[in-house]
Every structure is written in structure tokens, then in C-alpha cells.
Structure 1
Amino acid sequence: MVAIGIDFGTTYSCVAIWREGLVEVISNDQGNRTTPSYVSFTKNQRLIGEAAKNQAPFNHWNTVFGTKRLIGRRYDDIGVQMDLHNWPYVVLNNNGKPKILVEYKGQKKQFAPEEISSMIICRMKEFAEAYLGEKIKDAVVTVPAYFNDAQRQATRAAGVIAGLNVLKILNEPTAAALAYGLDQNLKEATNVLIYDLGGGTLDVSVLSINEKSMYKVKGTAGNMRLGGEDFDNRLVAYLAEDFRKRYHTDIIAKPKALRRLKTAAERAKRALTSASEAYVEIESLCNDVDYQGKIIRNQFEELCSDLFRDTLKPVQKALDTAKVNKHDIDHVILVGGSTRIPKLRSMLIEFFDGKTLTASVNPDEAIACGAAIQAAVLSGDEHERLQDLLLFDVVPLTLGVEAARGMMFQVINRNTPIPCRVTKELTTLEDYQTAMTIEIFEGERTQTKDNNLLGSFDLNGIPPAPRGIAKIDVTFDIDFNGVLSVFAQDRSTGNMESLIIRNIDRLKQQEIEKMVVDAEIFKEEDKEDRRRLEARNQLESYIYSVKQSVIDKIGNLTPVEATMMVTECQEALTWLEGNMDCLREEFQRKISELLRRWSGVMKKIYGQRWRGSKRKRTESEASSGISTASIEEIFDSNLW
């Protein structure tokens, strides 16, 4: 059975097939090798691709584009809210999910982004079926490397709605690297940097390719809100202001005129890749006024100068996460139509100290070609060029669980190769706790409230015991397709619960690249916050340890001493609950005070041995601050 590769893009999509040792890019019904990612609804029919884009200036309310920026997101997502003013069609809030409102055959219809996306993917499938003369069932579909789990699962759902068995959701830069590697027939170890600037997103990935055709992603970075459409919007704003000054008419609030201007701006941008100036001519743009404008390349570069500079930030970030410097990169590979902009190319050449950029594979087609290669491998094609081809992708965001009063307990770090399986140990926070809620988060911040909640489940039936005694093994398993499964098992009973993260209806989500940027901005703040929480947790552990010691060794104390200590422990815990947001120094002063105050009683309990021995904390204790360490360890800690 033949499997195809589909590059589902923000502005254009492409489909390719691997046959007889070569990749073939399949043309659409208009003879073009890429297809606009547009769907238009009229009184009589639904149009997709070229015909739909042609409707945009005249049927703007019912012509949908850019759904890749909506897919897998909540309506109140900051990215969705920022994009709303760029879309002439209506996006509704349907129980927290974005729904697109159009009029189709005289009726109001609401479509989820996955449904619109599936229409485009289905059309790509139909082009392949017409070309091959047979039905297609299997496909590899690509997504930006920085798509989170919700966006990936929503893209998979769109493929399923289109009637496809999605073999794999493949990162776009990785697909481009596959296409380049086979095109160049690389036979020696190579470091490549994929610079993928499309219509809506920027992706940068660093990969190593060894002599055995093993592809390993070493680092990724990106900006999900930066692409060719943003350059178009700068041109539109410039031309709209020119029209306002010359004809005293503001067209920003006139969707039909604005859509026509956007189409003309995109043409002008493309012309400026090879010409020093471009003309914009639109008949009856607004109020029967014919508009003629002109833009020179230097003006365009100045209009977009800040956006162009922003494209270099993910390049440095990807190099840093891959732990390589720019001199270690052997090939810089350009992917995406926006990489044809001369200024961007010159900036990249300067960044890499004069290194020649590579565009041997058509930038518009490279991702679809790589997807087709991966599809052939997964469908069992045994061609000699595919032999021993191995691909290792990475986790785009750190994954973990909440532990110890809102701290993010990291289980799988960002940029860990997948598939992977990691087990970490947790323990209980409360005395005689019999159930535990496992909450799974993704993100780079110290506290879980600043990260994205992926899902949660309960582990019940934990044998009652003092806090810190129960041992719970939490396992994160990410399969070949990037699907996350989480298991929690009580070590003493073998009782297990699990969760597969497939739910695309999550709480409010910030864009992944914004989360990583925020993590960098708040790095020092998070570091201090972690130290504050650790101090709080250490104080709490000390109080509980003293309380348990009093209970265990009550025979060594008089009834008055025992009652006093239990009462004071409870008072200390009450103080702690009422002072959750104290500074680190206040927690430190409190534990120093309690150490001095209770030292006489603790010496009486433990005799002269009480400051003698030390033991290492378990991994879960070190990570969460939950400790059953002896009192002397806390007393001698460097922190105090």
C-alpha cells in the first residue's frame, strides 16, 4: 500500500510520494506543486485551494485561511486573540473552543479548525489518488517542531477526518533534513541547521547525521507567531496608510478592500525577491478609486527590520540547546518560501560568518519530500536508499508533575530524544495519606501554575503511613509518534493507574515559544522562587519529622514534654499554612528558631547520637523537598 507525505502549511500545502528510489512532488488540478491552504464557501459549493483563494477578495466573510494558527488551541489563547484582527471571517467562542462561522448554501455553519484543516488535507489526498490512480489510506503529516501535544493531536485528528491513517506526526525541520540528506547522499558525519520560515511559523532545528544515516535532533527553537504573513501585514499597513493620505479614506475597517490589498501586497513581496522595486495596482480598491502604489526593496526591509532581526533569536537558541556553536554547523538549509527574501539570506550569511546557504531542495517542497521519505520507511519500503535510515526526534517542552506545594518536578527534560521512557520516585505530602492526584504539566517554569496542565488522574489505595514513607513510581513513556502515557504505581502494593495524553481540550495555553522565552526572562526569579519553596518544604519536613520522632520516642519524654512538643509542632504547621508566601529568609529564620528551641528535647529523645549520622535524600526528596531525613541533617545543612 502506498503512503504519502503531506506538508500541511499555514499558507500553502504540498503532497509528495516516494516511488522507485525517488521523491515525486504531486501537482494539483491547476498544475501547481503547492496549493493554497484556503477553503471558501459559496451559495452553491465549497471550494478548496486555488479556487478558494481567488474568492478571498470577493467572498471574504466565507473564505477561511490560516487555520493552522487555530488548530489545537483554546479561544482565549493569547495567540488566537492576537490573530483575530487579521482574519475577515468570524471566529466564535464555543465552550472555550474556537469555531469558524460561515454561510454555506444559505445556512449558517460552524466548523472547528480541525474540520477546515481536514478539508485541505483531504484535497491533497485526492490529488495523490488522481496522480497514482489508486486509493490512498496512509500518510505522514508534518507540523512545526514547536507544536505542543494539543496541536499535534488536533492535526492527527484532521488527518483522520480526511480519511487517512496518520502513520506519524513529523516535525517539519526534521522532514526537511531527511529530504536534504537523501538528496545529497551524505556519507560522513554532518551537523546541519534547518532554518524553516514559512507563511505562519519559524522553526529552527539542529540535527546530526552520521555516516550510518542516523538522524538525531539535538536542539530546536522557534517562533509560532512569525512568518511570511507577518511581512505581508507590514506591507498592507504601509499601503493602507499611503491610500489614506492620498485619498483621505481609511480602508482598514473595510474587509473587502483590505483583502484585495493583502493579495496585492503578497504579490509585491514576491516580486521584491528578484527586483529592487514593485508596483501595486488595484482597480476600484475603495469608493471606485483606482490605487497605484510603489514599494522599493529598501523600504520593505526597513518596514520588517525588527521582524527580520527576530528570526535570528531562535537560531542562537537552537545552537545553545544543541550545545554547539555556529562554527560546528556544516550546512545551513533553507526551507519555506519566505527564505527567498534577500535580506534574510544576507543576515544569515553574516550570522554564520560567510557560510554558503543551502537550498538544493526546493524550499517550498522540502518538507513534503521528507514526509514522503518517512512515509515510505514506515510503510515498509525496502529500497536500498532507505536501508538503515534512522530518525530520532526530541521532546519540545519539559514534562513533569506537581510536587511539594506547586513545584514543577521535572521527569523528562526538553530536547530529550524520543521514543523515551523515564521513571521517577514520588512520595506523600501528608501523614497517613491514602490517595494521590498526579497532575501532568509541560513547560520550563519553576512553578506548575506558570506551565500548561496536560491532564491528571488519581492513584488510590496507598497504605496509610507517615508522610514521606510511601514510594510511588511515576513513569512517563513517549512513543514513536510523540504520544505521552503516564503511569503511577504504588511500590508496596503494586496498585497502578495510568493516563494517555490525547485530550485536545486543555486549559488556557500560552504558545510554546513564549513559554521558553518567559522561562529565560524569569530565570533568576524562578531560581529564587525554587529556593524559597525548597526552604519552605524543608521547614515543613523538619516540623513533621520532629512530630513523628516525638510520637515514636514518646517513652523518652515526660507527659508534659510530649504534650508541649506535639502542641508546638501543630502551632508551627499552622503558622506555615498562614504564611505560604513568606520570603526565603523568613523560612530560614523560623527553622533556626525551632532548631534552637527544640534542641534540648531532641537531645533527650536521641541522646548523644542525635547529631552524629547523616544519610542521602532520595531522588524524590531532593526534587520535591519532602524528606524523612534525620534532624541532624537539617541542622548541619549548608543552607543554615
Structure 2
Amino acid sequence: MSDLVIGIDLGTTNSCVAIFMNDKMKILEHNSGDRIVPSFIFFNTDGSVFIGEHAKNKADDEPKNGIYEMKRLVGRKYDDSLLQKSLKYFPFDVSADASNNPVVSFKQRRVTITKTPQELYTILLEELKKFTKDKLGEAVNKVVITVPAYFNVTQREVTLAAAKDAGFTVLKLQNEPTAAALAYYHDHDIHKTHRSLVYDLGGGTFDVAILEKRFNDIDVICVAGDTQLGGHDLDNLILDFVCKQLKSKYDYDASDKPDDKRRLRNKCEKAKKKLSVSDEASITINGMVPNKPQVKIPLTRKEFEKMADKFFQKTIDILDNCLKDSGFSKTSIQEVILCGGSTRIPKIQELVSKYFGGKQLNKFENPDECVAEGAALQAAMLSTSTRQHIEELKLVEVVPLSIGFDSLGNEMIFIIKRGSKLPVSASHTYVNLHDDETSFTLGVYEGERLDARKNRQLDSITINNVTPAPPGQREVEFTLSIDTNGILTAKATEKLRNNTKSLKVQYTTGGRSDREIKNSLLAAAENKINDEKFVRFVKFKRYLIKYCVSIMYNLEENDLLDSYEDIYDFCNSTKLTAQTLEMDEENRVKQLIQECERRCNSLVHTYDFDFMPQLG
């Protein structure tokens, strides 16, 4: 097997394969001759399968068997509102399986076939792998695949699983805007500290990233974006416009005819592309409207820009929020880099340039290919092949907010600190409270507040069948890890008998907008005094609960229940009361501590009680 590593941009609209080898960047052409391959699969009724441009053309005749935009299905539940919005434009059938996951249905040889988004991804990746072998003359199974910065853990894991099923070993999932920046920095000899903003508008997703380069280190400062905002949405705007024109001028309603909409969609996409180089275009429709062999619907660039104004402005708003949240000024951005096919639209370029005061924009000659080129550069850095030697640029991605778990009293225990570089792993030891505790659950939280309840709960992890032990004497190591693909794993291990529970947490480093991150940091700063007061309160509350539990344990272990049943009941009642007290009741907690110690300390000394907590 080859030791080469390729880069793949697995796009919503198109996919592209690139390799950096022998000091040259090469885009691998599909067998059809296309440098970029439509992410389109056509299942022929005779059982054959077509990929790419040929699949797209064949779907004009059998729309229900032509599958596209798989990326908008990946990692989502069927009832997801964003998925439901996309479904009204799909001519193919999408339904829910028993777990509420979307599945695509079509007919082959008169039999209904269903495919999951992962299986569709696998088919596409198998095709990319096949023509890679044809072009290079050797089978390549190692790859770097790009994903939107805002892909969550489920979407990333589906991508990894599909690649594995296609016979690939994924060395890294790389965020798309980071890949584009890597391609740009490789082509431009920049040695001093340099700050860039990447505006990446593709067929299905939009990302903004601000990166800072210091010599050979690239730091990802912040990202923002939308996984449901791209060129396909512009196609849908034109499609809606055409349907309204057909209804008003020819009394023909195509809006509820999936087959017609599929045929119209291709024409709308071509009109959109033409409007990037011309002031007007027309959508020519043959044989669709009764008694009208041919219908032409004109569309000017101004009309298109008016209908797409909210779409364009949304991308600028996301850009603006990202820049503000980074704390940088517009003038501190040396380069504005455009990538993604939709950045060819003149109005996009005008708005982005205007936002930066008329700044000249940096454009790739082929904006559809730059993400694949960045993936290929990352692939070369990870390759062991002498044919792929490259001066390494180190991409440094960091954890945007601290992650930890809630301890007794809801205090946040920070395990992975904000700003930690990926990959990262850290642990904390948790000790039991009760001697009869056979299981426990810890919540996993993200945020900077000292009260875990004020942070965002990501998930929870439960470990069962734990070993009985006296209060505070059984240790469980709680470990959080985030890998280079941005996937968070939580693991709890009981040290006494290596009883382990692992969990993949619903999280990704791009999962929160930079505005959310900034608001979280601002809330922590504004509430610093309250948070410090909370920690002081929790210290007393935790001590009180542990004190009561230890007294009850010692009374049981020393056969003193009959003699001191009133003390046992008092401690049990006090423990239950303490668990309900909040921060403004600190004086109440202190009073209960004094009462407990007054009634119990003589017993502690007389019978030499074990495992008594210390207030400190």
C-alpha cells in the first residue's frame, strides 16, 4: 500500500482531491475530466451507480434517484428544523428510521432501497478513492478530509466512519477555513506576524476564521459560521422566484412538483453562475408548461441581488460578530482571503471589500479548489513519504472555553482550561461521599463560571458497580480528552478495580459562536465577586454534608446507633437540609456547622471516629 497521503475537500456541492508531491500541488482530475466532482450520486433503476457530473445529468430524467446535499443530512435528526427546511427542495424521498435519523429511499429493479447519509458519504468517498488510484497509479488509503468548522461531534464521527468504510485511514479532520488559510500562506512568503480573515462561502456552508501567523506557527484565533448557509440557498431563492413567475404568468404551479423543481434547479444554478459575469440571465424551460413548448423567464443581476440581500447581509453579520468577538479592529487584518465557489458573486466581493473600507481582497484563482489544496498540504505534513517532504507550518487550534464537571455543591471543577492547545487530555480525582454509593453521575460542563449550573451542560457520565468504601476513601479518576479532530471524550475510571466508563460528548471546538464565547467570558468577569462568594459558601456546605455523612457512617460502623439514634437522625436531617441551601444562606450553613460540632465533637473524640473531614 502506498505511503502517500491525499487531501479531500468533501463539499456539499462539489468534492475535490489534491496531493502535494515532489514539491508540486496537483488537483486530481475525475475520470470525466472534471477537476471538481459534483457531490452527486445517481442510482440507476438497473442497479448501476453514477457519481459526479454524469449522475447530475441523469437525474434530470429520474429526479427521485439523484441524491445530493448529503452533507445537510449528516449527523442530524429527521425532525431537525434546518433539515426539514431543506427537504421541501429535495425531489428524492427522505424519511425517518426507528431512531429518528434521516434515510434516503429510491427504487432499483422495482425494489425500494434505503441508504443512510453515512452510506451515501461512503459511496462518494469510494469513487474519490478509485479515481485517485487511477491517476496516481497506486492505491492510497491515507487522507486528510476537510469539514465545516461548525460540524458537531456526530457529524465528524459520521465523516470518519464513512471514510473508514470506504477504505481510508483519516489522519486528520481539518476545518475548511483553516485549510484555505494554509493554502494561502503556502503560496505567499510571509515571515513576520501576520493576521488574516478567511471568508469561506461554499455550496452548503459558510465559515469565517481569523488566523494569526507567527513564522511557521498558525494560531486559529476565532471562528464563526453557519452549516446551513451556502450557494444552494441562493439556488433555492431563484427557484422560488421562477415558481412564482410560472404561477402568475402561466398559471402553472411547479412548487409542489418535485420532479419539475429538480429540473428547474439545475437551470437556476446555471443562471446564478451567469449573473456573476453578466448583468442578466434567463431560465429557459422546455416542455413543462401545458401548451407552451418553451418558456423564458428573465432575471437581472439587480433582481437577484435584491432577493438575496438578506442572505448576503447574514454573512456580513457573522463576519462582523467574529471580528468584534476576536477583539481585533478592521485595520489590524492584513489579508482578507476569499474561498468557496460562491465568493465569485460580485455583490459578495463588493460587500466584503466595503466592510473593510474598500480593502483589496485576496482571491484564489480557483476558489473551489483551495480547501482541497490546504488539506493536501496538511496531508504532506503528516506523511512519512519522502515524495511529500514539505516545510511544516504548525496549525495551533485551542479550546475556546474551559471544560470540567460539577462537584458536590455544584462547584465547577475545571479540567481542561480555556486556551489549551489541541490535542489535550487532563484528569481530576473524584472521591466518594457515601460508603454505600454504588453508582454516581457527573455532569460535563463548558464555561468559566464557578457555579457549574451557570455554565452549559454538554452531557453527563454515569459509572455503575463501584466498590463500596468509607466516605472519601474510594477514588475515581475523571479524564477529559479532545483530539485533533475536535472530538471530546469523557472517561471515568474507578482506581480500586479499573471499572471504566467512556463517553463521546456532544461537543466540538467550533460548536459555539465567538459571540457566545465572549458573552460567557464577560459573564464570568462581571460575576467574579459573586462566584468567589459562591466558592466560599460551597466550602462550608460541602464540609457540613461530609461531616454529617461521616458521623452517620461511624455510628453505624461502631454499633452506636441504638445509643445515639437522636444524633444519627439529626445528622441525616441536617444533611438533607444542607443539600437544598443556596448561596444567600451561608449564615444558615455556618449555624448548622456549629450545631453539628457542638453535638457531635465529643463523640468524635471519645470513640476516635475515622474519616472525619477538615474545614479548609
TM-score band by shorter chain is 0.7 to 0.9
Q: Does the 8 Å CA contact 1:17/1:25 hold for their aligned counterparts?
A: yes
1:348 and 1:564, CA in 2 relative to 1: closer, same or farther beyond 3 A? farther
Corresponding residue for residue 608 of structure 2: none
Quote the offset at 1:13 in angstroms.
0.6
Output aligned runs, 1:319-398, within 5 Å: 319=323, 322-382=326-386, 386-395=390-399
1:185 aligns with 2:189: yes
Quote the offset at 1:354 in angstroms.
2.8
User: What whole-Å deviation, never above 9, does each CA across 1:351-387 have from its counterpart, x for those lacking one?
Assistant: 2233221113521000111111122222224479713
- The match for 2:21 among 7, 19, 24 is 19
Corresponding residue for residue 258 of structure 1: 261
1:265 and 1:72, CA in 2 relative to 1: closer, same or farther beyond 3 A? same
Q: Distance in 2 between matches of 1:267 and 1:114?
A: 29
1:238 aligns with 2:233: no
User: What whole-Å deviation, never above 9, does each CA across 1:71-125 have from its counterpart, x for those lacking one?
Assistant: 2333333432332222221122112222111112321111111111122222222
What SS is found at the alignment partner of 2:162? helix
Corresponding residue for residue 88 of structure 1: 91
Q: Distance in 2 between matches of 1:230 and 1:443?
A: 33
- The match for 1:57 among 55, 60, 75 is 60
Report the AA paired with residue 23 of structure 1: M
Q: Distance in 2 between matches of 1:565 and 1:318?
A: 59
Q: Does the 8 Å CA contact 1:218/1:321 hold for their aligned counterparts?
A: no
Q: Distance in 2 between matches of 1:335 and 1:404?
A: 49
1:267 aligns with 2:270: yes
Quote the offset at 1:6 in angstroms.
0.9
Q: Does the 8 Å CA contact 2:444/2:457 hold for their aligned counterparts?
A: no
Quote the offset at 1:48 in angstroms.
0.9
Q: Does the 8 Å CA contact 1:543/1:569 hold for their aligned counterparts?
A: no
Report the AA paired with residue 34 of structure 1: I
Report the AA paired with residue 261 of structure 1: L
Quote the offset at 1:222 in angstroms.
1.4
User: What whole-Å deviation, never above 9, does each CA across 1:207-233 have from its counterpart, x for those lacking one?
Assistant: 22222x222222222111111111111
State the aligned residue count. Answer: 592
Q: TM-score, normalization: structure 1?
A: 0.80
Corresponding residue for residue 587 of structure 1: 582
Corresponding residue for residue 8 of structure 2: 6
1:224 and 1:430, CA in 2 relative to 1: closer, same or farther beyond 3 A? farther
1:205 aligns with 2:209: yes
1:429 and 1:373, CA in 2 relative to 1: closer, same or farther beyond 3 A? same
Q: Does the 8 Å CA contact 1:257/1:286 hold for their aligned counterparts?
A: no
- The match for 2:132 among 128, 145, 152 is 128
1:28 and 1:46, CA in 2 relative to 1: closer, same or farther beyond 3 A? same
Q: Distance in 2 between matches of 1:227 and 1:396?
A: 25
Report the AA paired with residue 371 of structure 1: A
1:248 and 1:462, CA in 2 relative to 1: closer, same or farther beyond 3 A? same
1:386 and 1:332, CA in 2 relative to 1: closer, same or farther beyond 3 A? same
Output aligned runs, 1:233-632, within 5 Å: 233-289=236-292, 290-319=294-323, 322-382=326-386, 386-395=390-399, 399-401=403-405, 403=407, 411-412=415-416, 416-428=420-432, 430=434, 432-438=436-442, 447=453, 451-453=457-459, 456=461, 458=463, 460-462=465-467, 464-466=469-471, 471-490=475-494, 493=496, 495=498, 497=500, 499=502, 501=504, 541=542, 543-545=544-546, 547-548=548-549, 567-571=569-573, 574=576, 587-588=582-583, 591-593=586-588, 595-596=590-591, 599=594, 602=597, 630=615
Quote the offset at 1:191 in angstroms.
1.7
1:513 and 1:254, CA in 2 relative to 1: closer, same or farther beyond 3 A? farther
Q: Distance in 2 between matches of 1:519 and 1:388?
A: 30
Q: Distance in 2 between matches of 1:346 and 1:547?
A: 69
- The match for 2:161 among 157, 173, 190 is 157
Corresponding residue for residue 34 of structure 1: 36
Report the AA paired with residue 228 of structure 1: G
Corresponding residue for residue 149 of structure 2: 145
Q: What runs of 5+ residues in structure 2 fail to find an aligned partner? A: 556-560, 603-611
1:309 and 1:514, CA in 2 relative to 1: closer, same or farther beyond 3 A? farther
Q: Distance in 1 between matches of 2:221 and 2:68?
A: 33
| Cα RMSD, aligned residues only | 4.0
Q: Distance in 2 between matches of 1:494 and 1:225?
A: 47
Corresponding residue for residue 224 of structure 2: 221
1:566 and 1:426, CA in 2 relative to 1: closer, same or farther beyond 3 A? same
Q: Does the 8 Å CA contact 1:220/1:318 hold for their aligned counterparts?
A: yes
1:452 and 1:250, CA in 2 relative to 1: closer, same or farther beyond 3 A? farther
Q: Distance in 2 between matches of 1:174 and 1:284?
A: 46
Q: Distance in 2 between matches of 1:370 and 1:587?
A: 52
Q: What runs of 5+ residues in structure 1 fail to find an aligned partner? A: 580-585, 608-626, 634-640
User: What whole-Å deviation, never above 9, does each CA across 1:423-467 have from its counterpart, x for those lacking one?
Assistant: 2344446565354345656799965996554x745265455333x
Q: Distance in 2 between matches of 1:184 and 1:598?
A: 67
Q: Distance in 1 between matches of 2:461 and 2:477?
A: 16
What SS is found at the alignment partner of 1:418? coil
Q: Does the 8 Å CA contact 1:141/1:371 hold for their aligned counterparts?
A: yes
Comparing 112-121 and 318-327, the one that deviates more: 318-327
Report the AA paired with residue 273 of structure 2: R
Percentage of pairs with the same residue? 30
1:552 and 1:267, CA in 2 relative to 1: closer, same or farther beyond 3 A? closer
1:385 and 1:525, CA in 2 relative to 1: closer, same or farther beyond 3 A? closer
Quote the offset at 1:281 in angstroms.
1.5
Report the AA paired with residue 107 of structure 1: V
Q: Distance in 2 between matches of 1:141 and 1:65?
A: 19
Q: Distance in 2 between matches of 1:436 and 1:312?
A: 47
